């Protein structure tokens, strides 16, 4: 099988700035090429744009801005996991031989139309993601006898970790009491339990083994890929306290990479809301069901950044189309021992978990040296 490597990456800070989507895309693209002067733009066979923005033809627009004339050029949308859908698509172009080098840029504005689940009429007026997150939180707390205070630790931990990430939206730390006292949004969610929409972009180049090695001395390989969509509306879920699509994607990605979950040294999981982090850890097999918060507690007490080292979505911010790419870049940097104060010890094998719309769809990637 053709080996797919990460040849280069770039990112912008995640902010609340009001910028045109073309400018946002351009910034992380520029950052990538400035940091990787060896990359020859003429070698780029495909340019994929990951976004929920309504602007059309963004891949040719970005290509023209950067002086690239690709064969393959289009935008990809799947709400919050658009980024990893684009990465998997890039892997398929390379593995199929249709491309040797694929440039992917994900970007979003703070006012992304992907934040409102306007298509799901079963929700009535409750179309903001906080409503499914409230149902998940209530269900999880009830099933596993977990308190709001316990869940608040996810936000405390991820804001602490984000403080070491210069590109994160947040640079503040909070206590459990701060989270509990933050604005009450629903019976089960406070403001600090939620990731925030923001403006940001992340870009990555994937390539064949030969081209990857030509462009970096510190290659990271994508060795496991798993994806699953179980439905569109979350009310089709069998339970509201675990993530079926995450479980199935994780199993496929680990199998493809010949690893078990015990081999994973570092992971980005999709903590759109506090409850999502323990649920994802359990569905991926990092811990037994109902025991995710124990694991998170242990990591926090030992100052271990293993889960969501860049601060996750809660600490970093959540520019939808960029998130999956930003997660992948973080894991690549960890494996390259290039994460400064966020560095996890002995990070040889890493995992990315990116999902959409109440985990109705998930992607899991395994990355390694």
Binding site for a second copy (CB under 8 A): 1-2, 22, 47, 52, 54-61, 63-64, 69-79, 82, 85, 88-89, 91-99, 113-114, 117-119, 225-233, 236, 249, 252, 356-357, 360-361
Which value, in Å, is the radius of gyration of the alpha carbons in the chain? Answer: 19
Query: In terms of CB distance, is 13 or 70 closer to a second copy?
Result: 70
Query: In terms of CB distance, is 91 or 180 closer to a second copy?
Result: 91
**Which sign, positive or negative, has the C-alpha torsion 279, 280, 284, 285?**
negative
Distance, CA of 202 to chain centre: 11
Q: How far apart are CA 115 and CA 199, in angstroms?
A: 13
Closest contact distance (angstroms) between CB of 137 and a second copy is: 22
Closest contact distance (angstroms) between CB of 341 and a second copy is: 35
Query: In terms of CB distance, is 79 or 267 closer to a second copy?
Result: 79
Closest contact distance (angstroms) between CB of 75 and a second copy is: 5
Residues 6+ positions from 295 with CB-CB distance below 8 Å? 278, 281, 286, 287, 307
Closest contact distance (angstroms) between CB of 288 and a second copy is: 26
Query: In terms of CB distance, is 12 or 360 closer to a second copy?
Result: 360
Task: Give the chain's largest Cα–Cα span.
Answer: 57
Q: How far apart are CA 225 and CA 228, in angstroms?
A: 11
Closest contact distance (angstroms) between CB of 67 and a second copy is: 10
Distance, CA of 10 to chain centre: 15
Half-sphere exposure of 153 (CA within 13 A, CB side): 18
Beta bridge partner(s), residue 235: none
Closest contact distance (angstroms) between CB of 241 and a second copy is: 20
Q: Which two tokens stand for residue 327?
A: 């997660």
Query: In terms of CB distance, is 45 or 193 closer to a second copy?
Result: 45
Burial zone of 288 (CB within 10 Å; 0-12 exposed, 13-18 middle, 19+ buried)? exposed
Q: How far apart are CA 222 and CA 364, in angstroms?
A: 11
Closest contact distance (angstroms) between CB of 65 and a second copy is: 8
Kindly give the pairing relationship between strand 361-368 and strand 349-356: antiparallel
Residue of 165, 130, 202 whose CA lies nearest to 358:
130
Query: In terms of CB distance, is 77 or 178 closer to a second copy?
Result: 77
Closest contact distance (angstroms) between CB of 6 and a second copy is: 17
The neighbour count for residue 362, using CB atoms within 10 Å, is 29
Query: In terms of CB distance, is 92 or 186 closer to a second copy?
Result: 92
Q: How far apart are CA 185 and CA 194, in angstroms?
A: 10
Query: In terms of CB distance, is 116 or 218 closer to a second copy?
Result: 116
């Amino acid at each position: 099988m053709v080996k797919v490597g990460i040849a280069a990456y770039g990112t912008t800070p995640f902010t609340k700035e009001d910028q045109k989507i073309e400018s946002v895309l351009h910034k992380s693209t520029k950052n990538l090429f400035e940091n990787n002067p060896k990359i020859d733009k003429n070698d780029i066979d495909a340019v994929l744009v990951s976004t929920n923005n309504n602007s059309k033809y963004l891949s040719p627009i970005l290509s023209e801005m950067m002086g690239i004339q690709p064969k393959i050029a289009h935008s990809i949308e799947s709400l919050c996991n658009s980024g990893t859908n684009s990465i998997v698509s890039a892997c398929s172009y390379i593995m199929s031989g249709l491309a040797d080098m694929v440039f992917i840029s994900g970007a979003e504005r703070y006012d992304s139309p992907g934040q409102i689940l306007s298509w799901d009429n079963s929700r009535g007026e409750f179309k903001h993601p906080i409503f499914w997150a409230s149902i998940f939180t209530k269900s999880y707390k009830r099933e596993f006898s977990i308190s709001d205070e316990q869940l608040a630790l996810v936000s405390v931990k991820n804001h602490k970790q984000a403080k070491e990430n210069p590109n994160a939206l947040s640079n503040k730390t909070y206590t459990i009491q701060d989270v509990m006292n933050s604005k009450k949004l629903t019976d089960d969610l406070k403001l600090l339990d939620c990731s925030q929409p923001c403006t940001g972009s992340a870009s990555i180049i994937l390539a064949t083994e030969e081209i990857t090695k030509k462009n970096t001395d510190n290659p990271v390989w994508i060795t496991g890929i798993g994806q699953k969509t179980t439905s569109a509306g979350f009310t089709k879920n069998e339970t509201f306290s675990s993530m079926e699509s995450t479980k199935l994607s994780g199993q496929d990605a680990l199998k493809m990479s010949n690893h078990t979950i015990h081999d994973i040294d570092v992971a980005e999981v999709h903590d759109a809301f506090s409850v999502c982090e323990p649920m994802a850890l359990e569905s991926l097999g990092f811990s037994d069901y109902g025991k995710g918060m124990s694991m998170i507690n242990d990591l926090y007490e030992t100052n271990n950044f293993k889960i969501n080292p860049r601060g996750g979505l809660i600490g970093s911010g959540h520019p939808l189309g960029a998130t999956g790419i930003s997660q992948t870049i973080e894991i690549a940097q960890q494996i390259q021992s290039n994460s400064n104060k966020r560095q996890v010890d002995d990070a040889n094998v890493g995992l990315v978990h990116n999902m959409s719309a109440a985990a109705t769809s998930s992607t899991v990637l395994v990355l390694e040296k």
